[in-house]
Amino acid sequence: MSNWYSESSPLERRTFWASFGGWALDALDVQMFGLAIPALIAAFGISKADAGLLGSITLFFGAFGGWFGGALGDRFGRVKALQITVATFALATFACAFAMTYTQLLVLKAIQGLGFGAEWACGAVLMAEIIRPEHRGKALGSVQSAWAVGWGAAVLLSALVFTYAPADIAWRLLFALGLLPALLIIFIRRGLKEPPRAAAAEKTPFFATLSGIFHRDVLRSTLIGGLFGIGAHGGYAALTTFLPTYLREVRHLSVLGSSGYLAVIIVAFFCGCVTSGIISDRIGRRANVAFFATSCIVTVLIYIFAPLTDGQMLVLGFPLGFFSAGIPASMAALFSELYPAGVRGTGVGFCYNFGRIVSAAFPFLVGFLSEHIGLGPAIGIDAAFAYSLVLIAVLLLPETRGKVFEQTAATRA
């Protein structure tokens, strides 16, 4: 892995760390919600289904944010779009700390979703266009591993805040802290170079850019990519949104105890992202995704349904986190290689985030089903079904490993 980084130019390295930091920031703010669910249920007197709706609304609006954010990058430039999306996301998270009603929190989570989806689309395509083709999978897999860094930071902050502050205040402090890293990320991104864009992209109307992914030349990629996104995000959302609650309420672990279990999964997620990127560049995008999707289904079902002891759950937490990382780690490289430059950002943003529209129902469905069949079975069934959709989609997509983008050499100067 170190070879690709040592061979990178200064611009490639700066872009990598900026994208890595931005994705870590997104993870920090989003994962705070899952860790704060029990406190939110108590604070607003809501049901698990209502709490799941808060997570679903973020995913739903994240879909539109990704589509629009990708189009903004195609039309006005990747770096410019990144500045706007990071600010939107961070400010919305901070504002959640001051929500006085469930409705206010619902609105703020929707705004957070817009920025969340858009940030990933802009950052992923920027990195895909800057890095050289032979290292694209490894670099973007490593960027995706930043999610584990932000997730881990959220777990640590949650453990500290909920240990030393009352629950009705702790969740507000947690959301307020989500603003701080944005200042550093915005500063870093000021030094990035805008990749060259086709002259036609600067003259194309914005709404024409949005609809360009439905042109007959790329329509098949858009439809199958959307199905891929549904499965990938549906499985992840079904598993992680209620996992902290499952560990505390079903397994009866304390905040610090559940944080220990999450730490194993988070470290595994980091390793899974990096490994997926390496494998993707070696054996191809399709074979890599098929391997990780199949492994996800098997591992999730064992984790939820097998009569495991606490120690066994801790051990199995590593493969659970490892395999669940491989799918999202492969998406940026795969989707960016499906589209031409003029609609690349729009296509990547749509495919990755369109899945959020349908997958937005998964946290709500888990919460609803949990009231009838229990939280564990609800998580397991939903996640296994979602990852099965990924298998179907990847079998229908072409192999794109090593694709050379337009004006690639100029972006590495």
**Nearest CA to 226 among 113, 393, 25?**
393
Residues with Cβ < 8 Å from 245, sequence gap 6 or more? 34, 37, 38, 48, 375
Q: Helices 375-396 and 285-305 sit at what angle, rounded to 10 degrees?
A: 170
Other C-beta atoms within 10 Å of 337: how many? Answer: 24
pLDDT for 23: 84
pLDDT for 410: 44
Do 146 and 27 touch, CB atoms closer than 8 A? yes
pLDDT for 42: 86
Determine the Cα–Cα distance for residues 155 and 294; give it in Å rounded to an integer: 28
pLDDT for 11: 85
Residues with Cβ < 8 Å from 103, sequence gap 6 or more? none
Do 157 and 174 touch, CB atoms closer than 8 A? yes
Chain position carrying tokens 């672990």: 253
pLDDT for 357: 74
Q: Is 202 exposed, middle or buried (0-12, 13-18, 19+ CB in 10 A)?
A: exposed
Query: Can you read off the two tokens belonging to residue 396?
Result: 């229908």
Do 248 and 148 touch, CB atoms closer than 8 A? no
Q: pLDDT 10s per residue in the chain (413 long)? A: 557 888 888 888 888 888 888 888 888 877 788 778 888 888 888 887 888 888 778 877 887 888 888 888 888 888 888 888 888 888 888 999 999 999 999 999 999 888 888 888 888 888 888 888 888 999 999 998 998 888 888 888 888 888 888 888 888 998 888 787 677 666 666 667 777 665 555 667 778 778 888 888 889 999 999 899 888 888 877 777 777 677 777 766 654 455 666 677 788 889 999 999 999 999 999 999 999 999 988 888 887 777 777 777 777 778 888 988 899 889 889 998 988 878 888 899 888 877 777 776 777 778 788 788 888 788 888 888 889 999 999 999 888 887 887 654 444 44
Determine the Cα–Cα distance for residues 132 and 120; give it in Å rounded to an integer: 20
pLDDT for 409: 42
Determine the Cα–Cα distance for residues 74 and 213; give it in Å rounded to an integer: 12
Select 208-402's CATH number: 2.70.98.40, 3.30.70.1140, 3.10.20.30, 1.20.1250.20. 1.20.1250.20
pLDDT for 300: 83
pTM over 0.85: no
Backbone phi, psi, residue 47, to 5°:
-90, 170
Number of H helices, E strands in the chain: 20, 0
Determine the Cα–Cα distance for residues 322 and 266; give it in Å rounded to an integer: 8
Region for residue 51 given its phi and psi (left: phi exceeds 0; alpha: psi -120 to 50; beta: otherwise): alpha
Give the HSE-up count for residue 238: Cα atoms under 13 Å, Cβ half-sphere: 35
Do 309 and 407 touch, CB atoms closer than 8 A? no
- Residue ranges covered by each domain of the chain: 11-178, 208-402
pLDDT for 354: 79
List Cα–Cα distances, 45 to 78, 109, 390, in angstroms. 42, 18, 36
Q: What is the CATH number of domain 11-178?
A: 1.20.1250.20
Query: Can you read off the two tokens belonging to residue 314?
Result: 């801790």
Give the HSE-up count for residue 131: Cα atoms under 13 Å, Cβ half-sphere: 33
Q: Determine the length of the chain.
A: 413
Query: Can you read off the two tokens belonging to residue 147?
Result: 């999610």
Determine the Cα–Cα distance for residues 337 and 325; give it in Å rounded to an integer: 20
